Amino acid sequence: MSKFFNAYMIREEDGQRQSSLVQLQEADLPDEEVLVAIQYSGLNYKDGLALCGQGIARRLPMVGGVDLVGEVVDGGSSDFKSGDKVLVNGWGLSELHWGGYSQFQRLKPDWLVRVPENFSELETMAIGTAGYTAMLCVMQLQANGVKPEDGEIVVTGAAGGVGSVAISLLSKLGYHVVASTGRPQTHDYLSALGATDFIDRKSLSEPGKPFQAERWAGGIDTVGDTTLANVLAQSKYQAVITCCGLAGGADLPASVLPFILRGVRLIGVDSVMAPQAIRQKAWDLLDKHLPREKLTELTQVEPMSKLGSLAEDIIAGRIRGRVVIDVN
Ligand code: NDP
């Protein structure tokens, strides 16, 4: 381990949050059991919020990055040994605990998942927290009985990270996927991932009637606010809609009518504190169902030095698919 290494840190200067590349030493790292040499982290919407100073980090200074993959350098007295490949999603990284935008990090063994045998380190971060959350949403649709023959599944925020992986998975599983996007220029990309129809983001984001014509058998919503309200209002009898995001806002200006007249089910999805058994299942299913060529298609790799502009881009909805951050 070199004496100094790079990290991307959120700090407060003159009453304002700033994020920048800094140099750290091993002694600066938190007092956690497992030392990991990080290879890649990811860029998630939450990372964008954190780096742009819009909350998330609940103590400062904070090393950003809600996910990471790398190799154990020292496992302490845990079950992890030097050389083991491990990944982390969530668990409060970039909120309460230092995260993945660093060449080295110290982490609790309970947070670590072994890198699934059939994935490269790059692929695990191409999936990242966004893709693992997409899998959690698909698992909820399946667990609640939504089948391909039931009808159309809407994915909102389609060209983003969660949306892109969700479409790839749903399409592979035989579902008819309708992509809601505000970027018509992504239609070819979304078709290649498996979307068969499109709706304009605006048609869902403008306030609509509380009870509308039935269309969706299921949905994966990453946008929230009026978009989710409209999706619920257009849901078919006993449809299942998963809610994981707030790219359009945190409100939910909806009515109870879809729930009490059509038995629509709205299911919240959280990736951050999900128990290990569910994470393991999600990674096993990603291994089984996520087409690798689609993962390559939806991924770009960028250096840590670009995090400032990338964070602004993801908050502004300008990122397509997934961005992996090469921390070295
Ligand atoms: P991205 O920024 O990659 O994707 C979000 C997409 O939403 C954009 O690409 C855009 O898609 C659409 N969008 C952006 N701004 C707006 C807007 N103002 N109104 C309507 N649509 C908009 O983010 P991620 O995919 O990484 O995350 C998506 C959401 O899911 C975020 O809110 C994130 O915090 C949440 N999330 C939650 C997790 C959990 O554990 N619950 C875990 C991971 C993510 P398009 O251009 O196609 O319209």
E strand map for 82-166: 85-89, 104-107, 113-114, 152-156
Predicted local distance difference test score (pLDDT) of residue 191: 97
Q: What share of the chain is helix, strand, coil (3-state, %, to 5)?
A: 35, 30, 35
Query: Does residue 272's CB lie within 6 angstroms of at least one atom of ligand 1?
Result: yes
Please give the Cα distance from 71 to 54 (Å, whole number). Answer: 31
Closest C-alpha to ligand 1, atom 6: 157
Cα of 246 from ligand 1 centre, angstroms: 7
Q: What is the pLDDT of residues 153-163, one digit of tens each?
A: 999 999 999 99
Query: Does residue 128's CB lie within 6 angstroms of at least one atom of ligand 1?
Result: no
Cα of 24 from ligand 1 centre, angstroms: 32
Predicted local distance difference test score (pLDDT) of residue 270: 97
E strand map for 102-215: 104-107, 113-114, 152-156, 176-181, 195-200
Say yes or no to pLDDT of 10 above 90: yes
Contact yes or no for 251/269 (Cβ under 8 A)? no
Contact yes or no for 130/165 (Cβ under 8 A)? yes
Architecture of the domain delimited by 129-268: 3-Layer(aba) Sandwich (3.40)
Ligand 1 pocket test, candidate residues 41, 43, 45, 199, most atoms within 8 A of CB = 45
Contact yes or no for 141/238 (Cβ under 8 A)? no
Cα of 209 from ligand 1 centre, angstroms: 24
Cα of 159 from ligand 1 centre, angstroms: 9
pLDDT range class, residue 319, cuts 50, 70, 90: very high
CATH code of the region 5-115+298-326: 3.90.180.10
Query: Does residue 245's CB lie within 6 angstroms of at least one atom of ligand 1?
Result: yes
Q: What is the CA radius of gyration of the chain?
A: 20
Predicted local distance difference test score (pLDDT) of residue 15: 84
Cα of 147 from ligand 1 centre, angstroms: 25
Please give the Cα distance from 218 to 209 (Å, whole number). Answer: 19
Query: Does residue 181's CB lie within 6 angstroms of at least one atom of ligand 1?
Result: yes
Cα of 289 from ligand 1 centre, angstroms: 22
Q: What is the pTM of this model?
A: 0.95
The total of other beta-carbon atoms located within 10 Å of residue 174's CB is 10
Please state the atom number of ligand 1 nearest to the C-alpha of residue 318: 9
Query: Does residue 17's CB lie within 6 angstroms of at least one atom of ligand 1?
Result: no
Query: Does residue 182's CB lie within 6 angstroms of at least one atom of ligand 1?
Result: yes
Phi and psi, residue 250, nearest 5°: -95, -5
Name the segment(s) of the chain with CATH classification 3.90.180.10: 5-115+298-326
Please give the Cα distance from 251 to 246 (Å, whole number). Answer: 8
Q: At what angle do helices 161-172 and 121-143 cross, to 10 degrees?
A: 70
Please give the Cα distance from 3 to 117 (Å, whole number). Answer: 32
Please give the Cα distance from 294 to 314 (Å, whole number). Answer: 20
> Over the range 275-305, which residues count as b (16 or more CB within 10 Å of their CB) and which as e?
eeeebeebbebbeeebeeebbeebbeeeebe
Strand ordering across the sheet containing 265-268: 195-200, 176-181, 152-156, 216-221, 235-243, 265-268
Please report, rounded to a whole number, the percentage of residues in the chain having pLDDT higher than 70: 100
Q: What is the pLDDT of residues 28-74, one digit of tens each?
A: 999 999 999 999 999 999 999 999 988 888 999 999 999 999 999 99
Cα of 267 from ligand 1 centre, angstroms: 17
> ipTM greater than 0.95, yes or no?
yes
Say yes or no to pLDDT of 2 above 80: no
Looking at every residue in the chain, the average pLDDT score rounds to 96
Please state the atom number of ligand 1 nearest to the C-alpha of residue 182: 48
Residue bearing the bigger pLDDT, 175 or 15: 175
Predicted local distance difference test score (pLDDT) of residue 54: 86
Strand partners for 106: 35
Name the segment(s) of the chain with CATH classification 3.40.50.720: 129-268
Q: What is the pLDDT of residues 250-276, one digit of tens each?
A: 999 999 999 999 999 999 999 999 999
